[in-house]
Structure 1
Amino acid sequence: MTTPHGHPEAARTTPGAVVVGIDGSASAERAAVWAGTEALRRGRPLRLVQVYALPQVHTPIAVGTHEQVRAGLAERAEGWLAEARTAVLAESPGVEIGTAAREWSPVAALVQESQHAELVVLGSRGLGGFTGMLVGSTAVSVVAHAHCPVVVVRGRRPQDPPPAAGPVLVGADGSSDSDGALAFACDEARLRGVALTVVHTWSELVADGVLRPHPFQDDAAEIERAERARLADQVSPWRDKFPDLTIDLDVTRGRPVRTLLERAEHAQLIVVGCRGRGGFTGMLLGSTSQALIVHSPCPVAVVRSQDAGSEETR
């Protein structure tokens, strides 16, 4: 059932739902279909949300015209939601679906939805209220302020569906800040019945976000052994928690984005944290996040660390 548009605080949320931003685009529809499958795996309801706003005009308009525009936007929203619902049910007929057409800011509405959601899912390209969602400040704002993990659904090419085969990848930097991403990635791999590959990159120049005391003078093989041992220590508790899950360690000298994008060619999901030291510092505000979101050949999940939820993005 669709919720009334009304005041944003009056919108009824669905606790524990997988929430999808719908904007009438083919990308959002593919995201909804992906999210429907995800909701079934998790045993959660699916919530399709379309957020619209009255256009800003600089000249006065009649009240009647204003209401006509609002009614037209609401009607269009209902149509987009119905189309997305039909597409989801064609692939996941058993999933429970709720819909909501909301008049508000897309970022504010999705962040509010995330307070009660299990997961927020977005398409990689958009129309309507979500135009530019994933190439500008809107995407950064949603991911940076969301209270749950956010997934951007992508395929190899803009029109391609997301891949359904291959392992789950997770970027880890050896710090406790990436444990949230590891936990999420372990669950995803378990639910999908595939292996998890933990990707860690290292540099001869930088360690833990600071310049090494003797760059280029330390033995590269020794650095790699130390980095692998550090990563193994971090992953060890997750091996104990998920004894039936195959967890592979991929320790490589290089840059995080390039390495993850190379590995993603054969993966079905990339998981990264939004905080961390080393190669993943500034994940959400710099070129790293933009590159993954814009260029990844598979869906990208961004998971905030638990202590980041109450902090403002720096």
Structure 2
Amino acid sequence: MDETATTTDVVVGLDGSAGARTALAWALQEARLRGGVVRPVTVWPEDRPPHVHDAGIGPPSAADVEGDVRSRMGSEAAEVAAAAGCEDVPVHPEVRHGQPAQQLIDAAGTDGLLVVGSRGRGPVRGAVLGSVSQQCAQYASGPVVVVRDDDAAPRAVLWQEPASRVVVGVDGSAGSVAALRFAEAEARLRGGELHVVHAWTDTVSGYGGPPWERPVTTLREQADAVLRQSMQSAWRDAAPDVQVRAETVEGVEWDVLTEVAEAADLLVVGSRGRTGWSSLLLGSVGLRCLTFSPCPVAVVRTPR
């Protein structure tokens, strides 16, 4: 099943920060590829209502203030769209009230793609991953893309070119299979390469016993089998319509994925893999990838 076939709405959080503008530019490019619309969303926390200046003719109504905010959001979107070459992408600004992460998640729903910056205007300025972006990745019911805006992120992004590359990590779990299908669709939109990676470690000889108990060749063969099974599970009906590079790499999963993702358009991970507590929606691998990836990261929820 094409994970993006019905996902034409791209919801992006705007809070006036540089990170949000970078996320908006990414969302506009993505919507152009999908033939969809961008819905920038600004959220006013309920405990901090908007400050309104009295211009001498009485305070404006809430509707007037919201209209002014939507107008400024539209102007910002038009400016970013012009710089990104996406002037033809429809933009529908929204203003919501409540907890920011929850409102963004509700706006995207199950079918929309939610895009957020890695950091916003939160109180912890030194944080690499802000609380809103982390909460969206943890609790959204649909796919979430976190776009970084710092010195570690590459400035030149390939979009619809043969040199484009989408990286996805698989481990045989249902979450990674869903991530693989999503990544295939993203690679197809870009006309680029799908790079499928399964990371494995020699934990037996390292910590569980002497190296002769289980040869490394056997562990590598098992890793190859997991990679093949993941791809077979994702493409039972037909072969992928993209160029595919698949490999197993020895190493810690998040280190391998963030290294392979260097200069990639997108890194895709499942919301949970085969490790961690089942009650967590975002596993340790996903969280570390969000924190250290050199490119935007998509977190894909396992279908219920």
TM-score, normalisation: structure 1: 0.76
Q: Once superposed, what is the RMSD of the aligned Cα atoms?
A: 3.5
Matches within 5 A, 1:1-314: 16-55=8-47, 74=66, 75=68, 78-90=71-83, 91-115=85-109, 117-127=111-121, 135-154=129-148, 157=151, 161=155, 163-164=157-158, 166-205=164-203, 216=211, 217-236=213-232, 238=234, 241-278=238-275, 285=282, 287-307=284-304
Inter-CA distance 140–154: structure 2 relative to 1 (3 Å threshold): closer
- For 1:271 and 1:176, locate their aligned partners in 2 and report how far apart those are by CA, in whole Å: 14
Figure out how many residues of one structure are paired with residues of the other and give that number. Answer: 282
- Consecutive unaligned residues in structure 2, runs of 5 or more: 1-6
What is the SS of the residue equivalent to 2:93? Answer: strand
Shift of 1:205: 1.9
Contact 1:16 1:118 in 2 (8 A): yes
Percent identity (aligned): 36
Contact 1:23 1:129 in 2 (8 A): no
Contact 2:73 2:93 in 1 (8 A): no
- For 1:39 and 1:247, locate their aligned partners in 2 and report how far apart those are by CA, in whole Å: 24
Inter-CA distance 116–16: structure 2 relative to 1 (3 Å threshold): farther
Shift of 1:237: 5.3
Contact 1:274 1:282 in 2 (8 A): no
What is the SS of the residue equivalent to 1:252? Answer: strand
What is the SS of the residue equivalent to 1:298? Answer: coil
Shift of 1:122: 0.6
Shift of 1:81: 4.5
What is the SS of the residue equivalent to 1:305? Answer: coil
- For 2:124 and 2:141, locate their aligned partners in 1 and report how far apart those are by CA, in whole Å: 19
What is the SS of the residue equivalent to 1:241? Answer: coil
Contact 2:12 2:39 in 1 (8 A): yes
Q: 4+ residue runs of structure 1 moved beyond 4 angstroms?
A: 54-57, 67-78, 128-134, 211-215, 237-240, 278-287
Inter-CA distance 123–69: structure 2 relative to 1 (3 Å threshold): farther
Contact 2:271 2:302 in 1 (8 A): yes
- For 2:279 and 2:18, locate their aligned partners in 1 and report how far apart those are by CA, in whole Å: 31
